[in-house]
Amino acid sequence: MLLAAVGIFGVMAYAVAQRTNELGLRLALGAPRGNIMRLVLGQGMKLAGLGVLLGLVGAVTLTRGLRSLLYGVSATDPLTFSVIALLPMVGTILACWIPARRAAKVDPLVALRCE
């Protein structure tokens, strides 16, 4: 989980660095800092949601072969699936928070001068 969070953090930090000019322009035109944070967090959560959805579909299809190996838990236990799906989403929020905060604090003048 830690390795995944570090990877997501790196990708999001790189994406924010690449979009500094765009984010600075948005801020210069009057976008609230909260909207910038939601934009970056939404981008990360969209990717994480797709990954969790694909993982759940794969897990449900593969549980047929594991039914005989499980003891005390059904192969499609809703509590287990929801907790395991929730963990990567929480990790993604934590990993995207710092780049989102950094994106919201971009100084529009500095971002526009870089170009």
Does residue 85 fall inside a structural domain?
yes
Judge contact between 91 and 8, C-beta under 8 A: yes
Q: pLDDT for 76-89, tens place per residue?
A: 788 888 898 899 99
Does residue 93 fall inside a structural domain?
yes
Does residue 91 fall inside a structural domain?
yes
The total of structural domains in the chain comes to: 1
Does residue 81 fall inside a structural domain?
yes
In angstroms, rounded to a whole number, what is the distance separating the alpha carbons of residues 13 and 93? 13
Does residue 86 fall inside a structural domain?
yes
- Provide the whole-model pTM: 0.78
In angstroms, rounded to a whole number, what is the distance separating the alpha carbons of residues 20 and 1? 28
Q: pLDDT for 58-79, tens place per residue?
A: 988 888 777 777 777 777 788 8
Residue 115 has pLDDT above 70, yes or no: no
